[in-house]
Structure 1
């Protein structure tokens, strides 16, 4: 499957506003920050094509698992060259792996999707995304109520505190064309999926970790490996943190409940 996008600067301005940056992080002709390609190549299915959870009911790479729950588990990126804002880009997506496993709540399908993004005939970004589809509700335990007051303070060189609220989740959903109801429909998140509140997008945690790098490290990111381990809920106090080594950095996101909700490793060019 191949998609095209012009990488318009208006989108980077919108993302910058969401992150409270005083000016856009990239302008026309400038380099797109790592992972900001997630705000492009958006898919907008028709309303009747959505399932009850807000995800498309059918489409590319979607498995025929009954009552499936979709989770973005992690991935890897190679940033061969920076993408340039305002230049047309082409993304080719393919399915590289699918593995069925059986868990306590039913079938689990682990899917790896590969995306290659090109500009001016050159491959700029190579990405693999690991998606898990679960049949039935997760058996993982979650807090009964969200605590908005307890703050973590991990022992790390870099720290970026954030308290995601429903407004931030709404804007991130809009900027990524994500209609999954766990991010904006609190009764659905509680009653249908068993969460204590709205769920913070895993990709938002990854963007915050890379935003920390963008603010603190002048070297260009050349590779990234990340994993989403446990959910964060709206209004919890979150700290994205990182520690730099000679040619790499170790990253994470923490709440008072867990210091490894999401983790990542980056290397520098």
Structure 2
């Protein structure tokens, strides 16, 4: 049996932290340059594109307060889960009000749940964090973010999920090491799986650098909004398997009555992330 003491970890449920930030136009323009987004609409007062709030509210801890993986040491806001690998697993986002670039906004983050499960590779701990982003007195974004902690990969290939569904629409995004570096810098994400190949291979068991889960989600959300030509109301997403550098991502969409079913595709129709976008 593992060393996971779920009762101890659940003592973190209800823990909250507050933050505030300005939705800097300059920072948004850097994000646009990173993913090849048209910078023309990126100006003060324009609505923040979907999921770009992730490039704000950054925690700038000194390096001595980081763990070996580049993430903040555990046991602060997030519980001290004793499993080595941490991944962005998925989430559910509701967009209630546009956030204008240049605005001052506030965020409250709360540990909502901590769950222990058994997976194919061993112990898994899922921590769900609720984020509420407000503009003045009005709630603008309500989000549930799932983080998964797991054992180090064995090096054996994981079971891969594929699809036989043909998309109604598809486009391709090719990430480079520069893309990953820039996105890590924009989000102040020190997780070494995105820039340190030796660490990826020898410690966490990935054969190459890992494309950020939130970058996958941001690409899908932006694609859905461009296709619909109207702002997103909801976006639910789930990581299926890591997308590794060197593989072009296909952004796939199937039309539904109220939105799109989406996925990022890898070679041989394998799936990195699934999502549902509502309008």
Structure 2 SS opposite 1:41: coil
Q: Provide, for residues 149-180 of structure 1, a one-character-per-residue CA deviation record: whole Å limited to 9, x for no partner.
A: xxx99732222201211110101101111100
CA distance in 2, matches of 1:192, 1:203: 22
Are the equivalent residues in 1 in contact too, given 2:74–2:81 (CA < 8 A)? Answer: no
For structure 2, list consecutive stretches of 5 or more residues without a partner in the other structure: 1-16
SS at match of 2:224: helix
Match of 1:190 among 183, 201, 223: 201
Shift in alpha-carbon separation, 1:22–1:109, aligned structure 2, 3 A: closer
Shift, 1:66, TM fit: 2.9
Distance in 2 between residues matched to 1:45 and 1:257, nearest whole Å: 40
TM-score by length of 1: 0.90
Shift of 1:103: 4.8
**Normalized per residue, which structure has more helix?**
2
For residue 137 of structure 1, the aligned residue among 148, 152, 158 is 152
* Offset at residue 227 of structure 1 (A): 0.2
Runs (4+) of structure 1 exceeding 4 A deviation are: 102-106
Instruction: Select between 165-174 and 105-114 the one with higher mean Cα deviation.
Output: 105-114
State the alpha-carbon separation in 2 of the partners of residues 192 and 90 from structure 1: 37
Q: Secondary structure at the match of 1:212?
A: helix
SS of the aligned residue for 2:92 comes to strand
Q: Matched residues in 2 for 1:102 and 1:61: separation? A: 24
C-alpha contact (below 8 Å) 1:13/1:24 kept by paired residues = no
Using the alignment, how far apart are the partners of 1:140 and 1:126 within structure 2? Answer: 37
Of residues 225, 230, 255, the one that matches 1:214 is 225
Q: CA deviation at 1:214?
A: 2.8
In structure 2, what is the Cα distance between the partners aligned to 1:72 and 1:257?
Answer: 24
Count the aligned residue pairs: 259
The answer for unaligned runs of 5 or more in structure 1 is: 144-151
TM-score normalized by the length of structure 2: 0.87
